Structures are given as C-alpha cells and as structure tokens.
Chain A
Amino acid sequence: MTQVTKEELAAWADGEVTGTRGKEIAAAVAADPRLQAEVEAHKALKAQLSAHFAPIAEARVPDRFSALLSGTDAEQKPAEVVDFAGAREKREARRWIPRWGYFVGPALAATLVLAVVLPGGPDTLEDSDPALAMALDSQLVADQDTGGETRVLLSFVNEDDRYCRAFSQPDRTGIACRDDSGWALQLEMAGTRQSGTEFRQAGAEEILAAAQDMAAGPALTAEQEAAAREAGWR
C-alpha cells in the first residue's frame, strides 16, 4: 500500500501531483475512505474560502484607487498612506471606536507621570463617593447607560488577585480596586468627556496604560465580568 503524507495528499488534491505518482495517490485514495475524507475536507475548505472572499473581488473598486492610478505623472498624485499604523489610527479616530490595544503601548509609559497615585488609605469609595461605588458595583462594560455619569471602561484582576475597574466620568478618569472593605481609588486623572457616547477623553489612554501595568492578566470578558458582579467583586 502506498504511503501518502498529508502534504502530498493536499498537493494531489490541488492538482500539483501528476504522472505516475499522481496515479499511485489516486489509487491509494480510492482504496482508503480516510484519505477520501481528507481530500473532501480540503476541497470543501477551498470552496468555502473562495466563496467567502469572492465578494471583495467582485465589488466595485473604491474611487481612491482609480484616482491614485489615473494621473500619468506619479508626482501629481497624493501619496497619503505612507504609514499603515498612522492610517489606521486616523481611521479609527474617525469611527470613534477605541481599540485600546493599539494605543496602549510602551510609548505611553512616559505619560503615566501625569497620573496621581493615591496613597492606599482606609478610605473607601463607599464612604467618600457612594455614587461611584455603586456604579462600580453594578455596571457592566457591555451593558451600561451611555448617558450615565460614570462609565466603566474595563475590568481586570490585579496582582493581589483583587478586582479592579477603570472608569471615566465627565471630569476625570480613574482606576479603583475592590478589597474586603469596599472600592478604593488607586489613581485618578483629570479629563473631560465630550458627550455621552464619546469616551476618548484626555487621560483615558493613560489610564488604560496604567491598568495594563496593574493587571495580572487580560481584561475580563463580558462573562467573567458578569460572574464577578454576581460574586460581589470578591
């Protein structure tokens, strides 16, 4: 019985193996249902991917490309996209969808000096700012009123295994962590939020960079967050 590797079988399925060897593989496939299944899976995936990406090739090419190519003199044409990351950031600023992953990086570390690191004291937000404490207790990132005073940006677990939440308010952003007595503010920064749905206020990027430094792992998913609220953030 002919031995056929996965690589050889894929190549054969793609019409890359012909001649004597091609015939040998064809015979081996005909005799072995497992090989047949693998060839079928290969072809089915190829068909699925072709169909998935076909609409892009069939769509009308945006005008920006024909404009780029319509001139005869290359110097006359605008060469706007010289930096991919820059273009992405510009575009996302337009869409107002923050993708913090791209903003929170080593470059921001220098701006962290702006953050006021509060001394860990006995004061909890339950005493000093009950409204904020309540918002931190109750609001989930994925499900909150955009018109509210407090907006929770994300939740994470810090290195002491406590739940922490980064939040923004119209005039400030901050991070609070929950200990046994309640929520304690870890740091806060002044900032302004432009409207209920726009939360790229000054300070948010720095706060998220600070969250990155404090966190022991990734930000909580919506499910993890809901479970944490259920457990009283302990």
Chain B
Amino acid sequence: MNPPFEQQVLDLLPRLRRFATGLAGNAADGDDLCQMCVERALANRRKWQEGTRLDSWMYRIMRNLWIDEARARSRRSQTFVGEDAGLSVGSDGAQEAAVELGNVDRAMQRLPEDQREAVLLVMVEGYAYKEAAEIVGCPVGTLNSRLVRGRDALLALLEEAA
C-alpha cells in the first residue's frame, strides 16, 4: 500500500521547491510557483495514474505553469524599465535585491527558458536525459543539445563574472 497522495507530495516538496527556485530565479517567486503546482496537482490528482512516477508528473505540472507564467510576463514587461532600473529606484530595495541574487542565479536567469530547464533537470535534479525529455515534452536529442548550449552559456557567464 502506497502512502497517501498528500504524503507523497509532501515528501517531494523539498525537491519541488528547489526546481521552482531554479526556474523562477529566487526563493519567493519559487515558493509561489511551488504552491501553484501543489494546488494544481491536488485539483488534478485523479489524472495521476497510481504506479507511475509522481515526481515526473509534478515536475511536468510545474514546468508547464512556469512556461505559461514566463509567456505572460514577457507580454507584460515590454518596457524599458528593466529589473535593474527598477531595483535602483530605492537604495534600500537595491541592497536587498543584491544580496538575493548571486552570480549563479544571475547567470541562470540569462539563459533562455528551454536551456535553463534542461540544465536544472539534468544537472541539479539529476534526471536521466530520457526522463528530463519526457518532463519537458521534447525528443531526447533536443534535450541533449539544449543542455549543452545552456551549459556552455553558463560557463561563459560565470567566467565573465569571476
């Protein structure tokens, strides 16, 4: 007998929060994304098939939520007042924001969404290429090439920042 659905989700939460933070770029946005994911999973729990992997199912939900959000955000923020400019509006805010994001976070945020999720799923979450490709919904070869492009971009950005 498997543990109840809620308990299984609870057990996955540390990993889900990690993935959400990686996608969203900071812990606060990550937790909102994670909460949406849990709510979506609870609402759709009948669509999950017992015996299949709950983690892949939930990662897929989260990833799809994030892609929707990223699209909506790029529509909203067609603006010259970028994040950097906004943060310098108040010096208090700028300082808080500066400690929030380190080099790795900033470099990750500069990757295109498809490369970032490939890097996170394989290099942080430890998924095999095939599993990561299933979560994303792309062929394994595509996942492999996104991973390499994302990796090379990250290495260049981190070197630049060092």
Contact = CB atoms under 8 A, between A and B. Distances in A.
Contacts of B32: 81, 84, 87-88, 91
A103 to B, nearest CB: 9
A58 to B, nearest CB: 7
A100 B18 CA distance: 27
A45 B85 contact: no
Given A100-B86, A142-B88, A222-B88, A7 B6 contact: no
B6 A70 contact: yes
B85 A7 contact: no
A61 B14 contact: yes
The SS class assigned to the B binding surface is: helix
A120 B155 CA distance: 51
Interface of B: 6-7, 9-10, 13-15, 17-18, 21-22, 27-36, 38-39, 42-43, 65, 69, 72-73, 76-94, 96-97, 102, 104, 119-120, 122-124, 128-129, 141, 144-145, 147-148, 151-152, 154-155, 158
B124 A68 contact: no
A168 to B, nearest CB: 10
A22 to B, nearest CB: 14
A108 to B, nearest CB: 10
B10 A49 contact: no
A74 interface: yes
A156 interface: yes
Interface string A142-182: 11101000000110100000000000000000000000000
